[in-house]
Amino acid sequence: MEETDKKPKKAGARLCCICNQTRAALKRPKTFDQICKECFYKAFEEEIHRVIVNNQLFKPGERIAIGASGGKDSTVLAYILSELNRRHNYGLDLFLLSVDEGITGYRDDSLETVKRNELQYGLPLKIVSYKDLYGWTMDEIVKMIGLKNNCTFCGVFRRQALDRGAALLKVDKLATGHNADDIAETVLLNILRGDIARLSRCCSITTGEDGPIPRCKPFKYTYEKEIVMYAYFKGLDYFSTECIYSPNAYRGFAREFIKDLERIRPRAILDIIKSGEDFRIATTTKMPEQGTCERCGYISSQKWCKACVLLEGLNRGLPKLGIGRIRGVNNGRKKDINQISGAKSIESKQCGALDF
Amino acid sequence: MQLTLEFGGGLELLCESVKIHNVNVEPQNGADKLIMKDLLAWVRTNLIKERPEMFMKGDSVRPGVLVIVNDCDWELSGQLDTPLEEKDVVVFISTLHGG
């Protein structure tokens, strides 16, 4: 028996259905194609290029920030975008933009990964911190409010922090690493919460085009499995630890449900996205009106934006301001609070790591 | 038989933060060869020190955990029925974390 260094399994020794020459290395969830590494790289990169071109995500000469957490999705996104930018002459100026939430043992480690990516891909990196922007680190916030609702603070603050960082970099657009699995999960969550405004928004490949910094999701149709396989086969350097403060309860159930569906029928992920895209909202549904925050000028459908309400609560020692229903706060203050937030605040959103 | 098992994507945290394990596993239940299903049970008993539900669901890996045998997706080699041989390299990667 001959021994090669990469002993193929008998059952796995099938040849790639594209080139018919090399041993297949994975089964693509989208197509069930059995494909070798080299053909997979080509197909994967080409599909993302097609998504970028067909949806006109970027224009020549634009400055683009890549939201970089050091995790798998944003690391692969940074790698692919710099590659495609070179290969297809997009003419883009690419930057890495990271948010330092101030979480010891989690974000400090993942930021080290982003700093390595800065060198590996030759992309300038900008880090904005909660401490600088808001005067509080997540560690300090958790010390004050405990482990309940902390993800609400983090999610609201991150969304603004990315916008502010993008403004500092003077970029035209922000690209994020949200993948097809993330989007399918968010469609389900928005249905479960009855959040019609977010449901209609979360499937758009580009959002916020009327605002100062539009966001786009080049991985909208890309399976998480393929992103991880790509990172693994290419030996990309990414960080993978769950946030130490994330309870992840509600989103966790949705995620597990999606993954169970995927095992039975991988196509389900793209079909959920399709359902989200084709959803039509009754004309009688009242949608929140978009305005600006009276305090900081950020987009807001209320008098004050969510970040300002949360920050006011922290600074006044009333961290429950702006969290869910107004419970456990006495009547005298209740009036005060309603004035501040302008209206009933939305139910707190578990782990906001994926903001749409 | 000697196998190299590698845990990534956060799964290493379930086995005392050690990523690579060189192990010796014999065919189970008197069978003449080792298959993936038996290896998973062995890993769960011998390597996973906490939160086994992050690694397994029923008798397979939890959906969202990728399995790669000798650089090849286990979906191409029969998943739980994948036969294992001397010096095989098996990689488990979780995709269930932030990106």
Res A181: pLDDT: 95
- A107-122 confidence digits (pLDDT tens): 888 899 999 999 999 9
Determine the residue type at A28.
Answer: R
Contact of B78 with chain A, judged by CB distance below 8 Å, is answered with yes
Residue to test with chain B: of A26, A44, A182, most B Cβ within 10 A: A26
Min mean pLDDT across A79-88, A242-251, A306-315 is at A242-251
Q: What is the pLDDT of residue A215?
A: 96
pLDDT of residue A89: 97
Reply yes or no on whether the pLDDT at A335 is more than 50.
no
Tokens (6 digits) for A147: 């482990």
3-state secondary structure A183-215: HHHHHHHHHHHCCHHHHHHHCCCEECCCCCCCE
> How far from the centroid of its chain's Cα atoms is residue A282's Cα?
28
pLDDT at A248: 59
Mean pLDDT, chain B, integer? 92
Helix (H/G/I), strand (E/B), else coil: A64: strand
What span, in angstroms and rounded, lies between the C-alpha atoms of A160 and A296? Answer: 11
Residue-wise pLDDT for A255-284, tens only, equals 889 999 999 999 999 999 999 999 877 777
Question: Which residue of A9, A259, A262 is in closest CB contact with B72?
Answer: A9
Q: Which residue's structure tokens are 């949705």? A: A254
Contact between A65 and A97 (Cβ < 8 Å): yes
Domain annotation covers residue B32: yes
- Nearest alpha-carbon partner for A123 in A169, A191, A161: A169
- Which top CATH class is A55-278? alpha beta
Chain A contact for B96, CB < 8 A?
A: yes
Put simply, the answer to whether B83 touches A10 (Cβ < 8 Å) is: yes
Tokens 């019609």, located at residue: A196
Return the bridge partners of A26, or none: A35
Gap from A135 CA to chain B (nearest CA, Å): 25
* Average pLDDT of the segment spanning A45-65: 98
Confidence (pLDDT) at A351: 45
Query: Residue A296 pLDDT more than 80?
Result: yes
How far is CA B31 from each of CA A24, A113, B34, B38, B77, rounded to the nearest angstrom?
29, 45, 7, 10, 19
pLDDT of residue A174 exceeding 70? yes
Q: Measured between CB atoms, does B66 come within 8 Å of chain A?
A: yes
User: Would you say residue B99 lies in a domain?
Assistant: no
Number of domains in chain B: 1
Question: What CA–CA distance (Å, rounded) separates A327 from A324?
Answer: 8
- Closest-CA distance, B10 to chain A, in angstroms, reads 5
pLDDT exceeds 60 at position A234: yes
Spatial contact of A39 and A18, defined as CB atoms under 8 Å apart: yes
Identify whether B40 is part of a domain: yes
User: Does the pLDDT of residue A1 top 70, yes or no?
Assistant: no
The mean pLDDT of chain A is 85
Residue B67: strand pairing partners: B92
* pLDDT, tens digit, 9 for 90 and up, residues B16-52: 999 999 999 998 777 889 999 999 999 999 999 999 9
Q: Find out whether A96 and A78 touch, Cβ atoms under 8 Å.
A: yes
Domain residue limits, chain A: 55-278, 291-341
Phi, psi of A139 (to 5 degrees): -55, -45
Contact B97 A23 (CB under 8 A): no
List the CATH number of the domain containing B11: 3.10.20.30
Predicted confidence band of residue A12 (pLDDT cuts 50, 70, 90): very low
Q: Quick check: B99 and A177 CB within 8 A? A: yes
| Contact between B73 and A26 using a beta-carbon 8 Å cutoff | yes
Cβ neighbours of A23 in B, within 8 Å = 72
| Predicted confidence (pLDDT) per residue in A193-207, tens digit | 888 888 888 999 999
In a domain, B72, yes or no: yes
Of A168, A179, A166, A180, the closest CA to residue A208 belongs to A166
pTM value is 0.86
Q: Which residue has the tokens 């010390």?
A: A143
Q: Which domain holds residue B30?
A: 2-94
